[in-house]
Amino acid sequence: MRTSFFGINVAVRGLYTAQRNLDVINHNINNVNTPGYSRQQTIQVASKPMPLYDGTGMVGTGSDVIAIERIRDEYLDFKYWSESSAFAEWNTKKTALADMEAMFNEPSDSGFNVILDEFFNSLQELAKDPGSQAVRTLVRETGVMVAKYFNSLAVHFEELQNDLNYQIDTKVTEANSLGLQIQQLNRQIYRAELDGNTANDLRDHRTLLIDKLSQIINIDANEVVVGKLPDGRDDKHMVITMSGKAFIDHYEFSRLAVRQRDEKLNEEDIENLFIVGWEDGNRLDIRGGELKGLLDVRDGNEGKNGSPVYKGIPFYIGKLDQFVRTFAMAFNEGFIDNNTNGIIEEEEVGMGHVNGYGIARNEDDVYTGIRFFTMVAEGRKPISSDDFINGATEIDEITNAYKKLTAKNFSVSFDIYDDINKIAASSEPDEIGNIVNLNQLIKMRHNPHMFSEGAPEDFMVSIVATMGIDSQQAIRISQNQHSIVRQIENRRLSDSGVSLDEEMANMVKHQHAYTAAAKMVNTMAEIYDILVNRVGMR
């Protein structure tokens, strides 16, 4: 009697199997739009057969679902984490360089060439009427515009450096938050899988967090076998490393931290920039991700003084500083380093503003030896020519004085601010109509020997062109990396993504299986009814 109900047990197994398959399909369909979700499928096998007593063979006992697996290709995950880090780095650089290009605003009606043209055009107007107070005022104001153009650029670069600095702090905080969540998931996954099950949804969530972490900083993530569990399965721990040191080692979590620099890495840096390292004080070598992009743009100065080998903000501020020092020294002193070696020879000294004479209103007026451009001191007040040069008389002493000049503190001298009559147009005293010195100053507009790149506009064009090349490089690499990442994402989706068409087809298949199993239950019930009630079996 006991074995006569064998058929209905087999049919019930079919019901349970079909129902479990439909449950998994239902779960997949509900998570079709869930970020990071991996398609799940059942592992269905024939249940253990039962041998017949007469030795004629073994009869099947139906089917069982022995596991629910998460469809995932680990190789594609590793590949994604690597390429995602590179894409995030260059995408960050692309964005920052676009901001830097906008600061120069070239070509435009308010760019460098227009401002410099207006300054030298005012000098040409002064050559027509050297005694005109209105034209002299115009010369001073256009000179102020030249100085403020560089002041504004320097301030904007410093503001961008400060913004990038706080973005770095934010990204480190985000990385630590992701690390803490992954650590907690490691605990949940490990405990959930001790009985042999697989925590599919928890693993999906962890993988999604690792995806986000890989965009912030370069990582290596692996499940490492550390031994055997009591049931013989491998004991695996999730380990995430950054440049060789464990960020997460199963339950252990080493935080990242930022601290302020003790001293500047570059002369052009603002104060209190952050260093990224481990919370225990050890150094961290960042090789990719958004943090790498931010650090390169914030600190890059072609590798000088240990800075990143990249043309970042300090590099371009340094170029602006070089321009104002060279231009101011040429305009003020007539010093032009034709050999571009930084050492001024006697034959490289010509006529500058300091050699000319202004309009003296009385005998006590100082109307020669005036520098047109100096710098601002504390309180943003321009200093006088004498204070700027500080008694220097030798060529090397004078050139050293100009090393204090930067794009940020560049200014028209207090002497010119105070008295426009000190604009030196004449080469001799008391000759208002003499414009010999003024003509020498006007020639500097197109002096091809002022910079190694050529005239002043050639130097600025080279800066903008260099930045444009860097920006185009970042755009190209970013686009290439984006294509690679998209390709990997598509391959991941083709393996792990949920296809509604496929799930609907599977749903119909298992629905039919469930209907057939239910029909088999009814059929077996009818057989037993006839066997018991009609045949009269006792």
Query: Domain limits of the chain?
Result: 1-71+497-538
Looking at the predicted structure, is the pLDDT value of residue 95 above 70? Answer: yes
Phi/psi at 67 (5° precision): -165, 160
Which has the closest alpha carbon to 89: 500, 478, 400, 391? 478
- Convert the pLDDT of each residue in 295-313 to its tens digit: 999 999 999 988 999 999 9
Please give the pLDDT value at position 6.
82
What is the pTM (predicted TM-score) of this model? Answer: 0.89
Arithmetic mean of pLDDT, 517-538: 80
pLDDT band at 231, cuts 50/70/90? confident
Give residue 90's region: left, alpha or beta (phi > 0; psi -120 to 50).
Answer: alpha
DSSP per-residue letters across 330-389: HHHH-B--TT-SS---GGGB---GGGSB---SSTT---BS--SEEEB-TTSPBPPHHHHH
- Of residues 54 and 452, more confidence is placed in 452
Looking at the predicted structure, is the pLDDT value of residue 339 above 70? Answer: no
- Convert the pLDDT of each residue in 426-453 to its tens digit: 988 888 889 999 999 999 998 888 888 8
- Of residues 533 and 363, more confidence is placed in 533
Chain centre distance of CA 180: 23
Please give the pLDDT value at position 346.
45
pLDDT band at 230, cuts 50/70/90? confident
Looking at the predicted structure, is the pLDDT value of residue 362 above 80? Answer: no
Please give the pLDDT value at position 340.
56
Please give the pLDDT value at position 338.
58
pLDDT band at 2, cuts 50/70/90? very low
pLDDT band at 365, cuts 50/70/90? low
